Amino acid sequence: ALNLPNGIYIASIYSGNKIYSQKIVII
């Protein structure tokens, strides 16, 4: 996953869940 805030935002939209996006960021 991208460490950039933009990547996190995109991941959250793609997943649809902030919790899941955070998990991706942690990984």
Model's pTM, two decimal places?
Answer: 0.20
Task: Output the six-digit token pair for 18.
Answer: 């902030």
Residue by residue, pLDDT tens for the chain (27 residues) are 445 555 556 655 555 555 555 555 554
Q: CA neighbours within 13 Å on the CB side: how many for 23?
A: 6
Query: In the prediction, which pLDDT does 1 show?
Result: 45
Neighbours of 19 (CB within 10 A): 8
Q: Structure tokens of 2?
A: 């991208």
Q: Give the up-direction half-sphere exposure of residue 7: CA atoms within 13 A in the CB hemisphere.
A: 9
